[in-house]
Amino acid sequence: MQAAIVARFLVLSVFLSSIFSTVAGASVLTPDFAKLAKKLKPAVVNISTSKTIAVKKRQIAPGRDPFQEYFEKFFEGPHQRPQKQRNLGTGFIISDDGYIITNNHVVKDADEIKVKLSDGREFAGDVKGRDEKLDLALVKIDAKGHLPVAPLGDSDKMEVGDWVMAIGNPFGLSQTVTAGIISAQGRVIGSGPYDDFIQTDASINPGNSGGPLFNTEGEVIGINTAIVAGGQGIGFAIPVNMAKEILPQLKSAGKVTRGWLGVSVQLVTPDLAKSFGLDSEKGALVADVVKESPAEKAGLKGGDIILEYDGHPIKEMGELPRRVAATPVGKKVKLVVQREGRQETLQVTVEQLKDDDQDSAVASDRLGVKVTELTPERAQQLRVQGDKGVVVTDVEPDSLADRAGIQEGDLIREINGVRVSGVSDYSKLIAAAKKGGYLKMLLRRGDASLFVALRLE
């Protein structure tokens, strides 16, 4: 009897010991978020911007009395004037002399930028550099004394399941702290050719944009950027290593110069891998090569599968554009490609990716649109085949193009039955069109083609 009691006591002791050790272990594994927040909040800033926007005029609906429209304009005239649009975001200080990282969309086209520190001080912000492709901007404030700084970590060292903490300005609620884990890495969400997002379940909301995502060491490992509409616990951050690569250029030149190869690539599916003699779905399949591009000069062909770039294995399609973009212009790079069942090595000299502003043709005086060349990278982003046409990058409110239904992101393929090869063709066709006549355009929007007609005034 006594032996049985002793045995039960020992079992109970072991059981309680395991419980307490588990609890103790859990407390050790859980980061001290209170301590981290207290230390890091001073380096996080609130950003508020304002810009003037034009308000579209109302359209007269079919069958509607035009005099009614006249009286509405008479009584509602003040509402048709340009209005101020305000925006909220977050940023974080990266140097004690006042340099701040945020998202480009937070400060884009802003007439006024206000930066508020955690101690309540406010300063005017000045954009020193921006990169629309990564959605990053470098803002400078002139503040006396040394400012608290958020140290930049190494996003490559992070793993799925690691704890993270976000600090931001969601819905204008300053210095809000949320925590979670890294849910996934390398996410592609269709925002551009360099998608490589960190996914987190730390609460990210409107106003968090541009704010830091910290690791448990108190280092920035991501810049909070996007959320899924209606998705709870799904937020995305730009890996800080991508930001670190371009910061020197943003600071010195105000913009980013990227490498260019001149290929359009696609995903290697399991079926494609088998048909090309690969043992797995690796690499980037070359669908098209731009004429007179670095790729064509190096002998790259459609149907080649790029397996290695500059000594780095290409595990999946999206990795190639990111590596090419980060390559210094003029560098000679070795490519390993799979061609007709065998591997070959090519050498390519990387050239500069043309800047959107250099390619743009401004036709706002007549149609109210800005267009740019269809590069392989944009073709991939818009999911269109070929390299012919121009992409609409901006539509002026209440312009001819706006009233005809043309939208930003549309691909203009033809004008009056003539194929548009690029910006030069587009400009010539628009200039040749006569006043009072019609322009018939063939557009590509998403997966659909459509015609629009514009009557030139």
Pairing mode of beta strands 197-200, 136-140 = unpaired
**Would you say 226 is a known binding-site residue?**
yes
The Cα-based distances of 232 to 173, 189, 323 in angstroms read 19, 16, 32
Q: Please answer whether residues 321 and 377 qualify as being in contact, where contact means their C-beta atoms are separated by less than 8 angstroms.
A: yes
* Residue whose C-alpha is closest to residue 169's, from 84, 91, 235: 91
**Would you say 225 is a known binding-site residue?**
yes
**Would you say 209 is a known binding-site residue?**
yes
d(CA 402, CA 368): 7
Pairing mode of beta strands 136-140, 99-102 = antiparallel
**Conformation bin of residue 365: beta by default, left when phi > 0, alpha when psi is -120 to 50:** alpha
**Conformation bin of residue 198: beta by default, left when phi > 0, alpha when psi is -120 to 50:** beta
**Would you say 229 is a known binding-site residue?**
yes
**Would you say 27 is a known binding-site residue?**
no
**Would you say 406 is a known binding-site residue?**
no
Q: Please answer whether residues 278 and 268 qualify as being in contact, where contact means their C-beta atoms are separated by less than 8 angstroms.
A: yes
**Beta bridge partners of residue 152, listed in sequence order:** 220
**Beta bridge partners of residue 177, listed in sequence order:** 167
The Cα-based distances of 288 to 30, 277, 386 in angstroms read 50, 20, 7
**Would you say 228 is a known binding-site residue?**
yes
d(CA 186, CA 192): 13
**Beta bridge partners of residue 52, listed in sequence order:** 84
**Would you say 312 is a known binding-site residue?**
no
Catalytic residues: 105, 135, 209
Binding site, by residue number, is 105, 135, 207-209, 225-229
Binding site for substrate, by residue number, is 105, 135, 207-209, 225-229
